[in-house]
Amino acid sequence: AQSVAQPEDQVNVAEGNPLTVKCTYSVSGNPYLFWYVQYPNRGLQFLLKYITGDNLVKGSYGFEAEFNKSQTSFHLKKPSALVSDSALYFCAVRDDQAGTALIFGKGTTLSVSS
């Protein structure tokens, strides 16, 4: 069965420093991976996805993610964090048992201090 894990409940980083939010996955076939961000009292916003091709995926708001097949990871990164990046981040993988639905990790709260 497909699954995704976000090992950190919270990540704290100072503004201007690089940030990484970790995600590992388990799939039986090809991994289709996604990152979403959720601001307080809002819905989820799409950041980026990996389907195939280049292992470094670039997305919205300066975020990128690195797909690593051997480590089954899909970590979200940003070279220089902003206070406005503080939010809840979800990694997700396509659920092969439910067609095109997604299986989400539990989420990681990113806190960027000024």
Partner 1 sequence: DAEITQSPRHKITETGRQVTLACHQTWNHNNMFWYRQDLGHGLRLIHYSYGVQDTNKGEVSDGYSVSRSNTEDLPLTLESAASSQTSVYFCASSSRSGGTDTQYFGPGTRLTVL
Residue 74 binds partner 1 (CB under 8 A): no
Tell which phi-psi region holds residue 84, choosing left (phi > 0), alpha (psi between -120 and 50) or beta.
alpha
Q: How many CA atoms lie within 13 A of 35 on its CB side?
A: 29
Binding of residue 84 to partner 1 (CB under 8 A): no
Q: In angstroms, rounded to a whole number, what is the distance separating the alpha carbons of residues 8 and 27?
A: 20
Q: Is 20 in the site for partner 1 (CB under 8 A)?
A: no
- Binder to partner 1 among 14, 56, 83, 98 (CB under 8 A)? 98
In the bound state with partner 1, the residue whose beta carbon lies nearer, of 45 and 80, is: 45
Is 51 a residue that touches partner 1 (CB under 8 A)?
Answer: yes
Backbone dihedral angles phi then psi of residue 62, each to the nearest 5 degrees: 85, 5
Q: Which residues bind partner 1 (CB under 8 A)?
A: 32, 34, 36, 41-46, 49, 51, 90, 92, 94-95, 98-107
